[in-house]
Amino acid sequence: MMGEFEGAAVTAVYGGYLLTRNLSAELWGSQVLGSASEIRMVNANIVHQPFPHWRISPFFTLGVGHIFIEPKATLADPGDRDNSIGHAGLGLRAYVTDNYFIRAEVKDYKIFTNRATNEEATEWKIGLSIFF
């Protein structure tokens, strides 16, 4: 999948396992290439799809993970830039055939830092998914 994470290009891959007709568990890996830093993320999600039999079906996701930020500048010590993250999101699946669908989603991330305030980020992605 491809999209945007706070204004920077993001590329992501995921694998999922259908637990029930409505719930699935997913593991994600993402790479964000920004002008000031390179970001890698790993996430685990639970996805709820209330209407799995619809051709265009909404879904909701909730998950946790870890973010690794590598600043491109080396002028100052960037400090600890590896943080835990949590996210919530929603999206649509549009089935092309029985085993192929287009997936579009938006996620709101909360980045838990060791500073006085946490950070927030928004991500959107779209891509083709295959299942068997």
User: How far is 6 from 64, CA to CA, in rounded Å?
Assistant: 18
The DSSP string of 19-53 is SSSSEEEEEEEEEEE-SSEEEEEEEEEEEE-S-TT
State the Cα angle at 58 between 2 and 62, rounded to 5°: 70
- This prediction has a pTM of 0.86
Domains and CATH numbers, the chain: 2-130 (2.40.160.20)
User: What stretches of 1-132 show up as alpha helix (H) in DSSP?
Assistant: none
For the chain (132 residues), the mean pLDDT of every run of 10, in chain order, is 94 95 96 88 96 94 94 64 93 92 96 86 94 78
**Residue 57: how many other CB atoms lie within 10 Å:** 16
